Amino acid sequence: MSKKTKSPLLLFLGYFKNHKGLFAIDVLCAVLIAAVDLAFPLITRTALYDLLPNNLYTTFFVIIIALVLCYLVRSVLQFIVAYYGHTFGIRVEADIRADLFRHYQKLGFDFYDRNRTGHLMSRLTTDLFEVTELAHHGPEDLLTSGLTILGALIVMAVIQWRLALVVGLMIPVFLFVVIATRRSMSAASKNVKAKTGAINTEIESSLSGIRTAKAFANEDMEITRFDRANAQFKTSKREFHKAMGRFHSSMEFWLCSLNVAVIGAGGLLIMNGKLDYKDLITFTLYISAFINPMRKLAHFSEMFANGFAGLNRFAELMATEPTLQDKEDAKVLQNVSGAICVEGVSFAYDGALDVLRDVSLTIQPGETVAIVGPSGGGKTTLCQLIPRFYDVSSGAISIDGLDIRDVTQQSLRQNIGIVQQDVFLFADTVYENIRYGKPDATEDEVIEAAKKAEIYEDILAMPQGFNTYVGERGTLLSGGQKQRIAIARIFLKNPPILILDEATSALDSVTESKIQNAFDQLARGRTTLIIAHRLSTIRAAGRIISIADGVMAECGTHQELLEKGGIYADLYRTQKGN
């Protein structure tokens, strides 16, 4: 059974096997603690019946000292349970988080189009916090409490079966109360987690857009949005706390009633000569030992409600299949020459209105093709289909005669380099951001890529050179610097196919002119697609196509399209100012 088809509970328990040693130590120590707790009332009964009446004082004090030593050992065992138990829980949580993060990496663009970052972060962090406690205390509490309750009942039944029967009959009532109140608590806990995801989304959105908020002097509006989400969170917490209050009050009533029932029934048996007061004292001691595991069981129920709500959301995500998957017999794309064939391709996001309609295009190996046209016409979408970020709705795209759906996604994307208009830099150093294009690159290779991207001199002028921290999303760099670092990545990757999506849009005219020469050099012998609004960036293109309203409207050289007087000619005249 795969992780995607397992129930949440089986999925959760499957993570125990990698840490079974720690788990065994935790449970063994917990069982020994329970054994010490069970022994104390029996020793007390022996002292009352035999040692004290028979003046065996020496033996009595030896046993007392032995008990002190037992409780010293118990405290050591308690430390082991607390330390290694939580270590076990954290390792289970870390394994779950690692699997979820790896699963995130497999999911496609369409998944991230539908889900906000805050919700995904919440499921990766907040949802799993209670899992540590559930992994540690859950099995331990369930096992030791069960053993303690069973052991206490057996001893009490040996002493006086009638009184043990009273206790035994009250246990099902207690369990019924716990299960009934747990259901409402579980539903409330699930609602809290959903609201936590919502507030995390608002926080993530507000912090990401803090510069925009300040530019528009809209800090108060952001605070209002946050307060609204925070108020919803408080409401959901209130419902959870009500459910928790009902749970604890019901539990305490039945646990306290247990003492009353034992004293009442025991008193009646003493009156009838069927029970000795010493046995009643032993019973009350066992009830004290009995109540603690009952509370643990109730606590486990509460913990289960909290932890399982997060586990359910985890299982739900793990069951989400990537829309795009490699075929079982998918080939590895290698020795790529760069021939691209787009045949009758149509595409629509989520089955809505077509963004592209019946587009056909053949690009020869090493050819440079420019794609122009008005915004929203489908230029970027076409270039996202080639590395298979989305699957075509109809038609086919092939590279070197192989349908891209018949090759592995990894090998396909390894052979395509993309510089996008919206540059993303990681919160790391300049060096690591450039090396992202080739993780095993040497320092010399990184420096050479920086030189080709016309960013080397800028880097040397930075405070720590290549070790300069770029800030969140590269906020400590200028727009042109970010763009050139992204371009340096592609020089380092050195792919046979290039897609330049407004790759020089953030550069000034002087820098653009410099880097255009580097692009011309990089494009030599490679298949290159250039998406551009600024027509000065497509001077190296041997062919230009125009896309408007999802349809390929024109195709030809610069001169041919000017003579046609269509979309390209209009763009050219507009940018030339005549």
In one letter, which amino acid is 253?
Answer: F
What pLDDT shows up at residue 282?
72
- Give 20-41 pLDDT, tens digit per residue: 888 888 888 888 888 887 777 7
What is d(CA 355, CA 376) in angstroms, rounded to the nearest whole number? Answer: 8
Check if the beta carbon of residue 431 is closer than 8 Å to that of residue 466: yes
What pLDDT shows up at residue 444?
92
Beta bridge pairs of residue 183: none
Check if the beta carbon of residue 169 is closer than 8 Å to that of residue 345: no
Residue 175 pLDDT greater than 70, yes or no: yes
Question: DSSP code of 517?
Answer: H
What percentage of the chain carries pLDDT values higher than 90? Answer: 7
- Give 449-470 pLDDT, tens digit per residue: 898 888 888 889 988 999 988 8
What pLDDT shows up at residue 271?
82
User: What is the arithmetic mean of pLDDT over 254-261?
Assistant: 76
Question: DSSP code of 370?
Answer: E
Distances in Å between the Cα of 272 and the Cα atoms of 160, 214, 276, 375 are 13, 83, 10, 95
Residue 325 pLDDT greater than 80, yes or no: yes
The boundaries of every CATH 1.20.1560.10 domain in the chain are 8-318
- Give 8-20 pLDDT, tens digit per residue: 778 888 888 888 8
What is d(CA 347, CA 316) in angstroms, rounded to the nearest whole number? Answer: 28
CATH of span 340-576: 3.40.50.300
Domain 8-318 in this protein, CATH class: mainly alpha
Minimum mean pLDDT range among 81-85, 519-523, 566-570? 519-523
What pLDDT shows up at residue 1?
46
What pLDDT shows up at residue 407?
92
Q: Sort 164 into a burial class: Cβ within 10 Å, 0-12 / 13-18 / 19+.
A: buried
Q: Sort 489 into a burial class: Cβ within 10 Å, 0-12 / 13-18 / 19+.
A: buried
Both tokens of 215, joined, read: 């530019």
Check if the beta carbon of residue 478 is closer than 8 Å to that of residue 518: no
Taking the alpha carbons at both ends of the chain, their separation in whole angstroms is 68
Helix (H, G, I), strand (E, B) or coil at 188: helix
What is d(CA 110, CA 107) in angstroms, rounded to the nearest whole number? Answer: 8
The boundaries of every CATH 3.40.50.300 domain in the chain are 340-576
Going by C-beta distance under 8 Å and a sequence separation of 6 or more, which residues neighbour residue 328? none
Per-residue confidence band for 285, with pLDDT thresholds at 50, 70 and 90: confident
Pairing of strands 543-548, 368-372: parallel
What pLDDT shows up at residue 197?
65
Q: b vs e for 108-139, b when ≥16 Cβ sit within 10 Å of the residue's Cβ?
A: bebbeeebbebbbbbbbebbbebbbbbbbbbb
Going by C-beta distance under 8 Å and a sequence separation of 6 or more, which residues neighbour residue 159? 45, 279, 282, 283
What pLDDT shows up at residue 405?
92
Minimum mean pLDDT range among 115-129, 210-224, 407-421, 470-484? 210-224
Check if the beta carbon of residue 491 is closer than 8 Å to that of residue 378: no
Check if the beta carbon of residue 347 is closer than 8 Å to that of residue 390: yes
Q: Sort 496 into a burial class: Cβ within 10 Å, 0-12 / 13-18 / 19+.
A: buried
Minimum mean pLDDT range among 262-271, 313-322, 340-349? 262-271
Going by C-beta distance under 8 Å and a sequence separation of 6 or more, which residues neighbour residue 472? 427
- The helix, strand and coil proportions of the chain, stated in percent and rounded to the nearest 5, come to 65, 10, 25
Beta-sheet strand order (sheet of 402-403): 356-363, 340-347, 394-399, 402-403
What pLDDT shows up at residue 186?
67
Helix (H, G, I), strand (E, B) or coil at 429: strand
Please report the DSSP string for 320-349 in residue order.
Answer: ---SS---TTPBPP-S----EEEEEEEE-G
Beta bridge pairs of residue 546: 372, 554
What is d(CA 47, CA 62) in angstroms, rounded to the nearest whole number? Answer: 11
Residue identified by tokens 């035994």 is 168
- Give 423-442 pLDDT, tens digit per residue: 788 888 889 989 988 888 89
What percentage of the chain carries pLDDT values higher than 70? Answer: 87
